[in-house]
Amino acid sequence: MRPRRGPPALGALLTLALACSPVPDEPVVAPATCSGQPRARCVRSVSVGGRFACAALHDQTVWCWGRNDESQLGYESADLCPERLADGRTRAVACHAAPLQVLGLAGVVALSAGGAHTCARRADGTLRCWGANGSGQLGNGAVLPSRAPVAAALGGVVSVAAGDRHTCAVTQQGSVYCWGANDRGQLGLAESPSACGPEGQRVPCARTPTRVTSVEEAVEVVAGDAHTCARTRRGRVWCWGANADGELGANTASDRATPEAQAVLVGAYVLVGATSLAAGASHTCATRDDGAVLCWGRHERGQLGVAVPESFAPCAHACIRTAVPIAGFEGAPLPEDPDGSVDGGLPDVSNVADVRRPDGPTDATADDVNDASDADKREAAPEPPPPAAAAVAAGREFSCLSLGDGTVRCWGSNRAYELGNGRGDEGGPALTTVIASPGAAATNPLQEVVGVEAGAQTACAVLANRAVRCWGSNELGALGVGSTAEQNGPVPVTW
């Protein structure tokens, strides 16, 4: 996931699950395209955090670059990079603008970078975490930062997500465990076992993994600044934690901590058929098995991919409190809202129909709704559909989608070139195509993308040849090109 407290928070990362019921990764043999190739062409996956990023290679090693003031890169660096402060001044911050290997770490098959810490999942299902630890987010029982990867007290992990100051993981049994800060209920715990932080600034926390009892049969977890969401085997999505901007997708908004898991809604219906998740600072996106891409939460920069509402009370900022499909990726239409509207509050989930789509498989509770005929809809000649959605990513105030044709669309804030379109402007909800490189025309898109991840104000894509290109803010060396010079389009990470 993303940024740290100080400058605004984050962007998350999140590991994308391609199957509905993932299993632990087995040791991976480098594909033919990686055999004999340099490291630059052997990247398995990348995760972008708060102005830093890490990549897992096919040889199961990890390499990181960017900000390093809290040892989030997993190695010591003597370099200093300028950081712009809100008052216009700059300060020097520890960094390293090109990838270096995290030593003492092997067998890694997946990564998640958070605000200022990273956790790596190994082939044997164990976790190793490093970086900031003031809230216990490394899961080793301590509150001191660690440059060296340390073992989190949990095994059998199939999915891991690092938030701003907390971490969550899913085990083979489908249980969710969380640790770190719990001041917004992001651990899913009504009562925290400990308190972390300096005197006078202590926050509720858990220093070791603690089970979230309100969620079962999970297969994937993602973490935002201070909210967490999990996807279940049935394709439902449950969220808990901060909800001032409707981050939980349950048609509610409140500044109070919400540790109890809430079911994400689509209109009057519970979201089902979800196939992957991605969490930004205060918003979340999901792909659905009918091709829909849906987002919910904070929306003042257009990060949800739809028109920004003029009225958003009771949210603290512009928001949408239930999942809405982004333009061009609406999926199958839902039946009419049986109650007319859910604006009055969260309906009783036990009485709300689970509707996958009008003409597809549903739960028994939705049979009556699905008896409605769709003949009229099928008679009209459909327009050619856009390329299928492949993977979704959520940054601090922007989102990106990689498509089946190998191109990428992004939307939301663009003040730091987050949309990858060669322009630095306010951006907005319209989907824009990521260009091939700085100076490229809009008609020359980045191609052959197989995965995309987003962080604070930076995004990275893994290409079919296993190379990585990144775009957006290069502050503190977040692009991994060996310098902090601003770029206005995707650039290859310099190995």
Rounded to whole angstroms, the Cα distance separating 475 from 344 reads 43
Helix, strand, coil % (nearest 5) of the chain? 5, 40, 55
CA distance between the termini of the chain: 23
Q: Give the Cα separation of 176 and 154 in Å (integer).
A: 11
pLDDT in tens, the chain (495 residues): 444 334 333 333 333 333 333 333 443 444 545 677 788 889 999 999 999 999 999 999 999 999 999 999 999 999 999 999 988 899 999 999 999 999 999 999 999 999 999 999 999 999 999 999 999 999 999 999 999 999 999 999 999 999 999 999 999 999 999 999 999 999 999 999 999 988 888 999 999 999 999 999 999 999 999 999 999 999 999 999 999 999 999 999 999 999 999 999 999 999 999 999 999 999 999 999 999 999 999 999 999 999 998 889 999 999 999 999 999 999 988 766 444 333 333 334 433 444 443 333 333 333 333 333 343 444 555 556 678 888 999 999 999 999 999 999 999 999 999 999 999 999 999 999 999 999 999 999 999 999 999 999 999 999 999 999 999 999 999 999 999 999 999 999 999
Are the beta carbons of 112 and 33 closer than 8 angstroms?
A: no
Distance separating alpha carbons of residues 187 and 200, to the nearest angstrom: 22
SS3 at position 275: strand
Structural domains of the chain in order of their starting residue, each with its CATH number: 39-360+385-492 (2.130.10.30)
> Measured between alpha carbons, how far is residue 277 from residues 120, 136, 156, 296, 392 in Å?
18, 25, 21, 12, 7
What is the rounded distance in angstroms from the CA atom of residue 151 to the CA atom of residue 154?
A: 8
Look-up: residue for tokens 């549903």? 362
Any residues with CB less than 8 A from the CB of 249 and at least 6 apart, and which?
Answer: 229, 237, 239, 262, 264, 265, 271, 284, 296, 297, 321, 322, 323
DSSP string, 69-85: TTSTTSS---EEEEEE-
